[in-house]
Protein backbone atom coordinates (compact mmCIF):
# COMPACT_ATOMS: atom_id res chain seq x y z
CA UNK A 1 0.00 0.00 0.00
CA UNK A 2 1.24 3.46 -0.87
CA UNK A 3 0.77 6.04 1.83
CA UNK A 4 -0.50 9.35 0.47
CA UNK A 5 -0.07 11.07 3.83
CA UNK A 6 3.69 10.93 4.05
CA UNK A 7 5.46 14.11 5.15
CA UNK A 8 8.00 13.55 2.40
CA UNK A 9 7.51 13.00 -1.30
CA UNK A 10 6.65 9.28 -1.49
CA UNK A 11 7.84 8.88 -5.10
CA UNK A 12 10.75 10.16 -7.15
CA UNK A 13 9.59 12.06 -10.23
CA UNK A 14 8.90 10.94 -12.82
CA UNK A 15 8.01 7.39 -11.70
CA UNK A 16 6.63 4.27 -13.30
CA UNK A 17 5.21 1.62 -10.97
CA UNK A 18 4.73 -1.88 -12.34
CA UNK A 19 1.41 -3.35 -11.26
CA UNK A 20 1.35 -7.15 -11.32
CA UNK A 21 0.29 -8.75 -14.62
CA UNK A 22 -1.96 -6.05 -15.98
CA UNK A 23 -1.07 -2.43 -15.38
CA UNK A 24 1.61 0.18 -15.36
CA UNK A 25 0.84 3.09 -13.10
CA UNK A 26 2.68 6.01 -14.61
CA UNK A 27 3.15 9.23 -12.69
CA UNK A 28 4.92 11.89 -14.71
CA UNK A 29 5.42 15.67 -14.86
CA UNK A 30 4.91 16.01 -11.12
CA UNK A 31 5.99 19.22 -9.47
CA UNK A 32 6.28 18.60 -5.77
CA UNK A 33 5.01 19.75 -3.35
CA UNK A 34 2.21 20.70 -5.74
CA UNK A 35 1.47 20.28 -9.42
CA UNK A 36 -0.48 18.34 -12.00
CA UNK A 37 0.16 14.65 -12.48
CA UNK A 38 -0.87 12.27 -15.24
CA UNK A 39 -1.71 8.72 -14.19
CA UNK A 40 -1.96 6.34 -17.12
CA UNK A 41 -2.90 2.67 -17.22
CA UNK A 42 -1.97 0.13 -19.86
CA UNK A 43 -5.40 0.47 -21.47
CA UNK A 44 -4.46 4.11 -22.19
CA UNK A 45 -6.85 5.59 -19.65
CA UNK A 46 -5.37 8.92 -18.56
CA UNK A 47 -6.33 10.51 -15.29
CA UNK A 48 -5.15 14.04 -14.49
CA UNK A 49 -4.80 14.82 -10.81
CA UNK A 50 -3.27 17.53 -8.68
CA UNK A 51 -0.79 16.89 -5.88
CA UNK A 52 -1.08 19.31 -2.97
CA UNK A 53 0.61 19.78 0.38
CA UNK A 54 -1.99 20.40 3.12
CA UNK A 55 -0.98 20.75 6.76
CA UNK A 56 2.24 18.88 6.20
CA UNK A 57 0.55 15.98 4.40
CA UNK A 58 0.45 15.15 0.71
CA UNK A 59 -2.96 14.75 -0.90
CA UNK A 60 -3.88 13.64 -4.40
CA UNK A 61 -6.72 15.86 -5.55
CA UNK A 62 -8.75 14.56 -8.48
CA UNK A 63 -10.38 16.74 -11.12
CA UNK A 64 -13.58 17.28 -9.12
CA UNK A 65 -11.63 18.21 -5.98
CA UNK A 66 -12.14 14.99 -4.06
CA UNK A 67 -9.53 14.22 -1.44
CA UNK A 68 -8.05 10.77 -1.84
CA UNK A 69 -6.99 9.15 1.38
CA UNK A 70 -4.90 6.29 0.10
CA UNK A 71 -3.87 4.32 -2.96
CA UNK A 72 -3.92 0.56 -2.73
CA UNK A 73 -2.12 -1.57 -5.29
CA UNK A 74 -3.30 -5.14 -5.16
CA UNK A 75 -3.12 -7.36 -8.19
CA UNK A 76 -4.54 -7.00 -10.65
CA UNK A 77 -6.35 -3.78 -9.80
CA UNK A 78 -5.55 -0.16 -9.13
CA UNK A 79 -7.92 0.86 -6.34
CA UNK A 80 -8.44 4.33 -4.94
CA UNK A 81 -10.29 5.06 -1.71
CA UNK A 82 -11.46 8.66 -1.68
CA UNK A 83 -13.66 10.82 0.47
CA UNK A 84 -14.84 14.39 0.77
CA UNK A 85 -14.98 15.80 4.28
CA UNK A 86 -15.34 12.24 5.55
CA UNK A 87 -18.99 12.11 4.49
CA UNK A 88 -18.82 9.02 2.32
CA UNK A 89 -16.46 6.43 0.95
CA UNK A 90 -16.14 5.51 -2.71
CA UNK A 91 -14.09 2.64 -4.06
CA UNK A 92 -12.95 3.05 -7.64
CA UNK A 93 -11.76 -0.04 -9.43
CA UNK A 94 -10.04 0.18 -12.79
CA UNK A 95 -10.39 -3.26 -14.37
CA UNK A 96 -9.30 -4.27 -17.86
CA UNK A 97 -12.47 -2.66 -19.15
CA UNK A 98 -12.22 1.01 -20.02
CA UNK A 99 -14.71 2.40 -17.57
CA UNK A 100 -14.49 2.71 -13.82
CA UNK A 101 -16.85 0.78 -11.60
CA UNK A 102 -17.46 2.17 -8.15
CA UNK A 103 -19.61 0.76 -5.42
CA UNK A 104 -20.94 2.66 -2.44
CA UNK A 105 -22.88 1.24 0.47
CA UNK A 106 -24.10 4.29 2.34
CA UNK A 107 -26.93 4.34 4.86
CA UNK A 108 -28.17 0.95 3.72
CA UNK A 109 -28.19 1.54 -0.03
CA UNK A 110 -25.75 0.03 -2.48
CA UNK A 111 -24.95 2.12 -5.53
CA UNK A 112 -23.21 0.56 -8.51
CA UNK A 113 -22.04 2.83 -11.30
CA UNK A 114 -19.27 3.53 -13.76
CA UNK A 115 -18.37 6.80 -12.08
CA UNK A 116 -21.08 8.78 -13.89
CA UNK A 117 -24.51 7.22 -13.46
CA UNK A 118 -25.35 5.32 -10.29
CA UNK A 119 -27.66 2.35 -10.12
CA UNK A 120 -29.39 1.37 -6.88
CA UNK A 121 -30.00 -2.20 -5.89
CA UNK A 122 -33.69 -3.12 -5.59
CA UNK A 123 -35.51 -1.80 -2.54
CA UNK A 124 -35.60 -4.30 0.27
CA UNK A 125 -32.53 -6.07 -1.05
CA UNK A 126 -30.82 -6.19 2.33
CA UNK A 127 -33.95 -6.73 4.38
CA UNK A 128 -35.28 -9.64 2.36
CA UNK A 129 -32.11 -11.67 1.95
CA UNK A 130 -30.91 -14.43 4.20
CA UNK A 131 -27.33 -14.83 3.08
CA UNK A 132 -26.78 -18.09 4.87
CA UNK A 133 -28.24 -19.76 1.80
CA UNK A 134 -27.89 -19.05 -1.87
CA UNK A 135 -29.90 -16.12 -3.10
CA UNK A 136 -30.34 -15.22 -6.76
CA UNK A 137 -30.93 -11.67 -7.93
CA UNK A 138 -31.08 -9.96 -11.31
CA UNK A 139 -29.70 -6.42 -11.40
CA UNK A 140 -29.95 -4.36 -14.58
CA UNK A 141 -27.13 -1.84 -14.92
CA UNK A 142 -26.95 0.93 -17.52
CA UNK A 143 -23.45 2.20 -18.23
CA UNK A 144 -22.98 5.11 -20.65
CA UNK A 145 -19.91 3.51 -22.20
CA UNK A 146 -21.49 0.10 -22.59
CA UNK A 147 -23.17 -0.66 -25.94
CA UNK A 148 -26.42 -1.63 -24.24
CA UNK A 149 -27.83 -2.21 -20.76
CA UNK A 150 -27.09 -5.63 -19.40
CA UNK A 151 -28.49 -7.74 -16.62
CA UNK A 152 -26.19 -8.81 -13.83
CA UNK A 153 -27.26 -12.18 -12.49
CA UNK A 154 -25.95 -12.31 -8.96
CA UNK A 155 -25.62 -15.33 -6.70
CA UNK A 156 -25.13 -14.59 -3.02
CA UNK A 157 -23.96 -17.24 -0.59
CA UNK A 158 -22.30 -17.55 2.79
CA UNK A 159 -18.59 -18.40 2.73
CA UNK A 160 -17.05 -18.91 6.14
CA UNK A 161 -17.64 -15.68 8.01
CA UNK A 162 -18.00 -13.74 4.77
CA UNK A 163 -20.64 -13.30 2.11
CA UNK A 164 -19.78 -13.98 -1.51
CA UNK A 165 -21.22 -12.49 -4.68
CA UNK A 166 -20.76 -14.49 -7.87
CA UNK A 167 -21.97 -12.95 -11.08
CA UNK A 168 -22.92 -14.63 -14.29
CA UNK A 169 -20.37 -13.48 -16.86
CA UNK A 170 -16.87 -14.75 -16.37
CA UNK A 171 -16.16 -16.24 -12.95
CA UNK A 172 -16.15 -12.88 -11.17
CA UNK A 173 -15.84 -13.36 -7.44
CA UNK A 174 -17.12 -10.63 -5.19
CA UNK A 175 -17.35 -10.19 -1.46
CA UNK A 176 -19.05 -7.95 1.02
CA UNK A 177 -17.07 -6.03 3.60
CA UNK A 178 -18.45 -4.28 6.66
CA UNK A 179 -16.47 -1.11 7.30
CA UNK A 180 -17.44 1.52 9.87
CA UNK A 181 -21.15 0.99 9.34
CA UNK A 182 -20.84 0.86 5.57
CA UNK A 183 -21.24 -2.21 3.43
CA UNK A 184 -19.06 -2.06 0.33
CA UNK A 185 -19.27 -4.40 -2.64
CA UNK A 186 -15.81 -5.27 -3.92
CA UNK A 187 -16.06 -5.98 -7.64
CA UNK A 188 -13.47 -7.41 -10.00
CA UNK A 189 -13.51 -8.74 -13.54
CA UNK A 190 -11.18 -11.69 -13.47
CA UNK A 191 -10.70 -15.09 -11.91
CA UNK A 192 -8.59 -13.79 -9.01
CA UNK A 193 -10.54 -13.56 -5.78
CA UNK A 194 -10.25 -10.17 -4.08
CA UNK A 195 -10.83 -11.72 -0.70
CA UNK A 196 -12.52 -9.54 1.92
CA UNK A 197 -14.62 -10.95 4.73
CA UNK A 198 -17.16 -9.37 7.04
CA UNK A 199 -15.62 -8.23 10.29
CA UNK A 200 -18.75 -9.44 12.07
CA UNK A 201 -19.99 -12.99 11.65
CA UNK A 202 -23.52 -11.82 10.96
CA UNK A 203 -22.58 -8.37 9.77
CA UNK A 204 -25.31 -8.08 7.18
CA UNK A 205 -27.97 -8.25 9.87
CA UNK A 206 -26.65 -4.85 10.94
CA UNK A 207 -28.59 -3.41 8.00
CA UNK A 208 -31.56 -5.75 8.00
CA UNK A 209 -34.97 -4.88 9.36
CA UNK A 210 -36.97 -7.97 10.24
CA UNK A 211 -35.04 -10.32 7.97
CA UNK A 212 -37.13 -13.03 6.40
CA UNK A 213 -35.80 -16.47 7.21
CA UNK A 214 -35.88 -19.17 4.59
CA UNK A 215 -36.33 -22.85 5.41
CA UNK A 216 -33.24 -24.96 5.49
CA UNK A 217 -32.52 -26.26 1.98
CA UNK A 218 -31.76 -29.94 1.42
CA UNK A 219 -28.22 -30.97 2.15
CA UNK A 220 -25.80 -32.09 -0.53
CA UNK A 221 -24.78 -35.71 -0.08
CA UNK A 222 -21.28 -36.98 -0.69
CA UNK A 223 -20.99 -40.75 -0.96
CA UNK A 224 -17.56 -42.26 -1.41
CA UNK A 225 -17.34 -45.40 -3.48
CA UNK A 226 -15.07 -48.22 -2.37
CA UNK A 227 -13.95 -46.22 0.64
CA UNK A 228 -12.56 -49.24 2.45
CA UNK A 229 -9.77 -49.32 -0.11
CA UNK A 230 -8.50 -46.02 1.21
CA UNK A 231 -9.13 -46.79 4.87
CA UNK A 232 -11.82 -44.16 5.24
CA UNK A 233 -15.41 -44.20 6.40
CA UNK A 234 -18.29 -43.27 4.15
CA UNK A 235 -19.27 -39.64 4.40
CA UNK A 236 -22.78 -38.20 4.40
CA UNK A 237 -23.01 -34.50 5.19
CA UNK A 238 -26.27 -34.48 7.14
CA UNK A 239 -27.37 -33.47 10.59
CA UNK A 240 -27.97 -37.15 11.36
CA UNK A 241 -25.47 -39.77 10.36
CA UNK A 242 -28.07 -42.34 9.34
CA UNK A 243 -30.03 -40.05 7.00
CA UNK A 244 -29.01 -39.27 3.46
CA UNK A 245 -30.75 -36.38 1.69
CA UNK A 246 -30.83 -36.83 -2.06
CA UNK A 247 -31.45 -33.75 -4.19
CA UNK A 248 -32.33 -34.25 -7.83
CA UNK A 249 -32.97 -31.90 -10.74
CA UNK A 250 -35.64 -32.83 -13.26
CA UNK A 251 -35.40 -32.27 -16.99
CA UNK A 252 -36.85 -28.77 -16.65
CA UNK A 253 -34.28 -27.71 -14.07
CA UNK A 254 -36.70 -27.78 -11.14
CA UNK A 255 -35.45 -29.19 -7.89
CA UNK A 256 -37.28 -31.91 -6.01
CA UNK A 257 -36.28 -33.73 -2.85
CA UNK A 258 -36.37 -37.36 -1.91
CA UNK A 259 -35.22 -38.77 1.41
CA UNK A 260 -33.81 -42.22 1.71
CA UNK A 261 -33.14 -43.44 5.22
CA UNK A 262 -30.49 -46.08 5.47
CA UNK A 263 -30.35 -48.03 8.67
CA UNK A 264 -26.94 -48.34 10.20
CA UNK A 265 -25.29 -51.45 8.84
CA UNK A 266 -22.85 -53.71 10.59
CA UNK A 267 -19.90 -52.29 8.71
CA UNK A 268 -19.00 -49.28 6.61
CA UNK A 269 -18.75 -51.30 3.41
CA UNK A 270 -22.45 -52.24 3.48
CA UNK A 271 -23.48 -48.62 4.08
CA UNK A 272 -21.29 -47.39 1.25
CA UNK A 273 -22.66 -49.89 -1.27
CA UNK A 274 -26.31 -49.23 -0.32
CA UNK A 275 -26.01 -45.43 -0.41
CA UNK A 276 -24.00 -45.47 -3.61
CA UNK A 277 -26.55 -47.61 -5.42
CA UNK A 278 -29.49 -45.49 -4.24
CA UNK A 279 -27.88 -42.20 -5.21
CA UNK A 280 -26.84 -43.53 -8.59
CA UNK A 281 -30.33 -44.86 -9.42
CA UNK A 282 -32.08 -41.64 -8.44
CA UNK A 283 -29.67 -39.49 -10.40
CA UNK A 284 -30.09 -41.55 -13.58
CA UNK A 285 -33.86 -41.41 -13.22
CA UNK A 286 -33.80 -37.62 -12.82
CA UNK A 287 -31.51 -36.48 -15.60
CA UNK A 288 -32.12 -39.27 -18.12
CA UNK A 289 -29.85 -41.55 -20.04
CA UNK A 290 -28.52 -38.72 -22.19
CA UNK A 291 -26.97 -37.06 -19.12
CA UNK A 292 -24.98 -39.84 -17.56
CA UNK A 293 -22.97 -38.72 -14.57
CA UNK A 294 -19.30 -39.02 -15.35
CA UNK A 295 -16.94 -40.64 -12.90
CA UNK A 296 -14.87 -37.93 -11.30
CA UNK A 297 -11.40 -38.85 -10.15
CA UNK A 298 -9.54 -36.41 -7.94
CA UNK A 299 -5.77 -36.58 -7.58
CA UNK A 300 -4.52 -34.42 -4.73
CA UNK A 301 -1.73 -34.53 -2.18
CA UNK A 302 -3.09 -35.05 1.30
CA UNK A 303 -1.83 -33.02 4.24
CA UNK A 304 -0.92 -35.55 6.91
CA UNK A 305 0.70 -33.12 9.33
CA UNK A 306 -0.88 -31.67 12.44
CA UNK A 307 0.35 -28.14 11.68
CA UNK A 308 0.06 -25.95 8.62
CA UNK A 309 3.03 -27.46 6.83
CA UNK A 310 2.51 -29.58 3.74
CA UNK A 311 4.12 -32.94 3.23
CA UNK A 312 4.75 -34.53 -0.14
CA UNK A 313 3.69 -38.14 -0.56
CA UNK A 314 4.88 -40.58 -3.17
CA UNK A 315 1.54 -41.83 -4.45
CA UNK A 316 -1.34 -39.67 -5.58
CA UNK A 317 -4.50 -39.79 -3.54
CA UNK A 318 -7.34 -41.14 -5.67
CA UNK A 319 -11.00 -40.80 -4.87
CA UNK A 320 -14.01 -41.70 -6.95
CA UNK A 321 -17.41 -40.62 -5.72
CA UNK A 322 -21.02 -40.61 -6.78
CA UNK A 323 -22.39 -37.08 -6.65
CA UNK A 324 -25.84 -35.58 -6.31
CA UNK A 325 -26.31 -31.97 -7.28
CA UNK A 326 -28.67 -29.25 -6.11
CA UNK A 327 -30.17 -26.43 -8.12
CA UNK A 328 -29.11 -23.96 -5.46
CA UNK A 329 -25.50 -24.69 -6.36
CA UNK A 330 -25.97 -23.99 -10.06
CA UNK A 331 -23.33 -21.75 -11.59
CA UNK A 332 -23.35 -20.03 -15.00
CA UNK A 333 -22.47 -22.02 -18.07
CA UNK A 334 -19.16 -20.22 -18.54
CA UNK A 335 -17.95 -21.00 -15.03
CA UNK A 336 -15.10 -23.10 -16.41
CA UNK A 337 -14.37 -20.53 -19.13
CA UNK A 338 -14.59 -23.30 -21.71
CA UNK A 339 -17.32 -25.68 -22.75
CA UNK A 340 -15.00 -28.43 -23.87
CA UNK A 341 -12.30 -29.80 -21.62
CA UNK A 342 -9.40 -31.07 -23.67
CA UNK A 343 -6.45 -33.01 -22.38
CA UNK A 344 -4.33 -30.99 -19.97
CA UNK A 345 -6.82 -28.11 -19.93
CA UNK A 346 -5.83 -25.39 -17.41
CA UNK A 347 -8.70 -24.19 -15.27
CA UNK A 348 -9.34 -22.33 -12.02
CA UNK A 349 -10.94 -24.31 -9.21
CA UNK A 350 -12.69 -22.97 -6.12
CA UNK A 351 -12.60 -24.52 -2.67
CA UNK A 352 -15.48 -24.24 -0.26
CA UNK A 353 -13.34 -21.83 1.77
CA UNK A 354 -13.30 -19.42 -1.14
CA UNK A 355 -9.76 -20.17 -2.32
CA UNK A 356 -9.26 -19.94 -6.08
CA UNK A 357 -6.32 -21.78 -7.57
CA UNK A 358 -5.22 -22.95 -11.02
CA UNK A 359 -5.08 -26.63 -11.84
CA UNK A 360 -5.25 -28.97 -14.82
CA UNK A 361 -8.26 -30.96 -15.97
CA UNK A 362 -7.54 -34.11 -17.94
CA UNK A 363 -10.37 -35.69 -19.87
CA UNK A 364 -10.22 -39.39 -20.65
CA UNK A 365 -12.69 -42.05 -21.68
CA UNK A 366 -13.29 -44.97 -19.35
CA UNK A 367 -15.60 -47.67 -20.69
CA UNK A 368 -17.08 -45.14 -23.08
CA UNK A 369 -17.79 -42.58 -20.36
CA UNK A 370 -15.87 -39.34 -19.85
CA UNK A 371 -13.65 -39.13 -16.79
CA UNK A 372 -12.16 -35.90 -15.55
CA UNK A 373 -8.95 -35.97 -13.53
CA UNK A 374 -8.08 -32.94 -11.40
CA UNK A 375 -4.36 -32.63 -10.70
CA UNK A 376 -2.13 -30.18 -8.91
CA UNK A 377 -0.45 -27.79 -11.26
CA UNK A 378 2.27 -25.76 -9.58
CA UNK A 379 3.69 -24.67 -6.24
CA UNK A 380 0.91 -22.16 -5.74
CA UNK A 381 -1.62 -24.96 -5.74
CA UNK A 382 0.48 -26.99 -3.34
CA UNK A 383 0.74 -24.07 -0.93
CA UNK A 384 -2.73 -22.60 -1.17
CA UNK A 385 -5.00 -24.97 -3.04
CA UNK A 386 -6.54 -27.15 -0.36
CA UNK A 387 -6.27 -25.74 3.12
CA UNK A 388 -7.24 -27.18 6.45
CA UNK A 389 -11.01 -27.27 6.73
CA UNK A 390 -11.47 -27.04 2.97
CA UNK A 391 -12.67 -30.49 2.05
CA UNK A 392 -14.50 -29.69 -1.16
CA UNK A 393 -13.49 -28.72 -4.64
CA UNK A 394 -16.09 -27.08 -6.83
CA UNK A 395 -15.87 -28.10 -10.48
CA UNK A 396 -18.19 -27.12 -13.31
CA UNK A 397 -19.39 -30.16 -15.23
CA UNK A 398 -20.28 -28.86 -18.74
CA UNK A 399 -22.49 -31.72 -19.93
CA UNK A 400 -25.18 -31.05 -17.33
CA UNK A 401 -24.53 -27.33 -16.84
CA UNK A 402 -24.25 -28.12 -13.15
CA UNK A 403 -21.77 -27.33 -10.45
CA UNK A 404 -20.23 -30.62 -9.38
CA UNK A 405 -18.99 -30.79 -5.80
CA UNK A 406 -16.10 -33.17 -5.27
CA UNK A 407 -15.44 -34.28 -1.73
CA UNK A 408 -11.85 -35.11 -0.84
CA UNK A 409 -12.75 -37.54 1.93
CA UNK A 410 -11.31 -35.69 4.90
| Close Cβ partners of 370 (under 8 Å, ≥ 6 residues apart) | 294, 363, 364, 399
* Helix, strand, coil in percent for the chain, rounding step 5: 10, 40, 50
- Do the Cβ atoms of 30 and 83 come closer than 8 Å? no
Specify the number of domains making up the chain. 2
Residue 211 lies in a domain: no
Q: What's the pLDDT score for residue 347? A: 55
Q: What are phi and psi of 21, to 5 degrees?
A: 75, -40
Which residues constitute the domain of residue 171?
15-206
Same domain, 46 and 143: yes
Residue 10 lies in a domain: no
Same domain, 109 and 50: yes
Same domain, 348 and 296: yes
Q: Which residue has the higher pLDDT, 280 or 238?
A: 280
The answer to whether residue 267 scores a pLDDT higher than 50 is no
Residue 400 lies in a domain: yes
Q: What's the pLDDT score for residue 88? A: 32
The answer to whether residue 1 scores a pLDDT higher than 50 is no
Pick from 408, 371, 20: nearest CA to 224? 408
Same domain, 342 and 292: yes
Pick from 320, 325, 357, 364: nearest CA to 341? 364
The answer to whether residue 281 scores a pLDDT higher than 50 is yes
Report helix, strand or coil for 77.
strand
Pick from 60, 27, 24: nearest CA to 41? 24
DSSP E strands in 75-181: the ranges are 77-83, 90-94, 101-106, 109-113, 118-120, 135-141, 150-159, 162-166, 173-179
Q: What's the pLDDT score for residue 188? A: 33
- Do the Cβ atoms of 73 and 81 come closer than 8 Å? no
Same domain, 27 and 110: yes
Q: Which residue has the higher pLDDT, 158 or 64?
A: 158
Q: How far is CA 158 from CA 119, 165, 172, 174, 211, in A?
A: 24, 9, 16, 12, 16
Q: How far is CA 403 from CA 341, 345, 397, 399, in A?
A: 15, 18, 6, 10
Last residue of a domain, one of 145, 173, 206: 206
Q: What's the pLDDT score for residue 365? A: 58
Q: Which residue has the higher pLDDT, 77 or 51?
A: 51
Q: Is 303 exposed, middle or buried (0-12, 13-18, 19+ CB in 10 A)?
A: middle
Report helix, strand or coil for 108.
coil
| Close Cβ partners of 172 (under 8 Å, ≥ 6 residues apart) | 166, 187, 188, 189, 190
Residue 252 lies in a domain: yes
Q: Where does the pLDDT of residue 177 fall: very low under 50, low under 70, confident under 90, or very high at 90 and above?
A: very low
Residue 237 lies in a domain: yes
Report helix, strand or coil for 383.
helix
Summarize pLDDT for 233-265 with one digit per residue, the tens: 333 333 333 333 344 444 444 433 333 333 344
Q: What's the pLDDT score for residue 271? A: 45
Last residue of a domain, one of 206, 235, 269: 206
Same domain, 163 and 35: yes
How far apart (Å, rounded) are the C-alpha atoms in residues 79 and 184? 13
- Do the Cβ atoms of 34 and 53 come closer than 8 Å? yes
Residue 8 lies in a domain: no
Same domain, 141 and 243: no
How far apart (Å, rounded) are the C-alpha atoms in residues 69 and 83? 7
Locate all alpha helices (DSSP H) within 253-368, ordered by sequence.
268-287
Same domain, 163 and 294: no
Amino acid sequence: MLNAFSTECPWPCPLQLQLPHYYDLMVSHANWPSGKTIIETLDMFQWEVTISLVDGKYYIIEGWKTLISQILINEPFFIIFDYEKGSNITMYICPKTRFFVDSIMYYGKLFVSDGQNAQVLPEGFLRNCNYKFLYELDITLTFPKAPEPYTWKVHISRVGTGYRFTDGWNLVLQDLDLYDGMLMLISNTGPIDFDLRCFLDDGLEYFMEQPQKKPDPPEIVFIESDSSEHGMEDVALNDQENEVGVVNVDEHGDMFDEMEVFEEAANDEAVGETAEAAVGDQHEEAVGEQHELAEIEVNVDVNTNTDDEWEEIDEDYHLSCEITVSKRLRFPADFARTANFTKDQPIDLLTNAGDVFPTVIRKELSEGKPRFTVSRWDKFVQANGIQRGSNCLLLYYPHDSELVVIHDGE
